[in-house]
Structure 1
């Protein structure tokens, strides 16, 4: 890692939230009971890790939560996808990691769950683990991640503010020519007679030309070096809400999450693995579909901001062989937003 200017989130730059207010921490953890933890590896040859999204309600008393899955482009390795889609449920925390470590991480997550109280007689369980490729900045073939990193990420899972940028599963990712990583955001949304929170967390690793609030931010203009090359060209998105949506409605939210990628400039290349998982921790009857438009709109806004935060908060990373992904220069971002009248 090389020194960077202090990082800022989109809200810190003065860009408004859109139609709905941001949550207290502007993070997926604003959804009650949703925790996030990271395990991060930074060495001269490794920039990689694990990020855990943990619904605290999952356990012996509540074995599954309603969930939906949307696949923007299926060039990826989302362990547990078919059962999630078939049953409309998640049974474990959702873990994100590096492409070639995904199977070791899935096995470690399964082992962790089987050791939990109430799971002594469990004979089938569906771990959900997503990935993007951090091979531009990390020796991905070494498959360095496993039990210890999964345990660290799960143990570290907490509410409140979420570390973003070059941490956890985003330690070595690249997005839109800049250093990418982990980003998060949330919105408070009226739905029918209720008011709910929707939060998003992303692992960004895709190509295209960055756009922030409609203002182009081409990497070849903002960085005085060749743009970083995206390997694997993918994005994982996790959406959580306390609205008591059913699996079908959550799938509709997940589709909107995929749509948000275009809002920040993704080119949805042939080799991109773009997935969105949406789950609910809510209880009660699902709201009528006719009332869902605000929640669907808020999903787009929260995911788009999370994607931007993943880049704004990332720090420059360098591999020993010379590959370098630069942090986006925030002064240039601020200048372009001001010139466009956004801030």
Structure 2
């Protein structure tokens, strides 16, 4: 299991924090076979601190093959496009993009352009991409047109399996979490089901929570780390505002409704890190299963009398998957916090990194 990111940034377990559950080899969403993550990170001048994250449910060559999927909103002060079609069809068949609040449109266009250029057989008559966002306007000039469709296309092209970079990368570049530098984080858990083993992976764009709420492995540490908190002294935003997007992946065979049930458990993992769910935080979640490839095609090619089949875990055996979601989400948030350094952005705004040495001392208590 990787204790650092590919660039050598520390992850939460490198601090000696022992979290529950059994992670996969990468302890990342990419422990689900076929899932890949790509970034475009945009940092320039004094005011551009943003980017794009692409999560591909399947490899590039089969990216248009549908996955069973579901979604859930804990608080709707945010955006995730394509959710009405997810509700209607229970299927996800395009790369999932995460960016900043005002860059949803360019990323939406970028997905359409990439599919039309690279996978025209997957374009058919229309495309309804899933693009989600959180707000990075404290560190980034969010009104500037920094993110363009080509950046979304580049993130898709860059998507790879294996270890995943975390912290201030991709869509998470300008994000803050619990008053510290936040952003992109990931983790996974392995679930045994009879003779089978399945991975449940979580990816978070963490931009939520107020400092006093922060909890690490059951220890309420936020009040002990209350100093050096310029974000919560900023009068434009309320403490806890920002938003969080979570994407879950699993290779367990699930129904779309079971994917929705996984997504509904995500807040339980977030709560373990301390948040109570701010009104000004858009908390929106997506879950998909890569099993049952070839089903849920929802195309025009089927003739009358044809059928598709789904194999799925019985509902009565879902509890271990719910537990995996809670534990993976908790660790993904903590990884996003740990794999970061202090950032200065627009108008000199500064967000400090999580003081890792002080955290270790508190946890040893």
Is the Cα contact below 8 Å between 2:63 and 2:93 reproduced in 1? no
Matched residue of 1:135: which SS? coil
Is the Cα contact below 8 Å between 1:191 and 1:292 reproduced in 2? no
Any stretches of 5+ residues in structure 2 without a counterpart? 1-7, 293-309
Any stretches of 5+ residues in structure 1 without a counterpart? 1-5
Matched with 1:178 is 180
Q: Map 1:161-172 to 2 at 5 A.
A: 161-172=163-174
Bigger shift: 75-84 or 242-251?
75-84
Matched with 1:314 is 340
Q: Map 1:21-170 to 2 at 5 A.
A: 21-43=22-44, 44-57=46-59, 63-119=65-121, 122-170=124-172
Q: Tell me: CA distance 1:14–1:120, structure 2 relative to 1, closer, same or farther (3 Å).
A: closer
Matched residue of 1:308: which SS? helix
Is the Cα contact below 8 Å between 1:37 and 1:155 reproduced in 2? yes
Q: CA deviation at 1:62?
A: 5.3
**Cα distance in structure 1, aligned partners of 2:126 and 2:64:** 15
Matched with 2:229 is 226
Is the Cα contact below 8 Å between 2:176 and 2:206 reproduced in 1? yes
**Cα distance in structure 2, aligned partners of 1:267 and 1:228:** 18
Matched residue of 2:287: which SS? strand
**Cα distance in structure 2, aligned partners of 1:173 and 1:61:** 28
Q: Tell me: CA distance 1:61–1:107, structure 2 relative to 1, closer, same or farther (3 Å).
A: closer
Using the size of structure 1 for normalisation, the TM-score is 0.92
Bigger shift: 283-292 or 273-282?
283-292
1:216 aligns with 2:220: yes
Matched with 2:202 is 200
**Cα distance in structure 2, aligned partners of 1:48 and 1:23:** 29
Matched with 1:3 is none
Aligned residues between the structures: 332
Matched with 2:286 is 277
* Divergent runs of 4+, >6 A: none
Matched with 2:249 is 240
Q: CA deviation at 1:335?
A: 0.8
Q: Tell me: CA distance 1:193–1:141, structure 2 relative to 1, closer, same or farther (3 Å).
A: same
Is the Cα contact below 8 Å between 1:29 and 1:160 reproduced in 2? yes
Q: Tell me: CA distance 1:121–1:305, structure 2 relative to 1, closer, same or farther (3 Å).
A: closer
Is the Cα contact below 8 Å between 1:179 and 1:228 reproduced in 2? no
**Cα distance in structure 2, aligned partners of 1:80 and 1:258:** 21
Is the Cα contact below 8 Å between 1:66 and 1:246 reproduced in 2? yes
Is the Cα contact below 8 Å between 1:179 and 1:311 reproduced in 2? yes
What CA RMSD, in Å, does the superposition of the two structures yield over aligned residues? 1.9
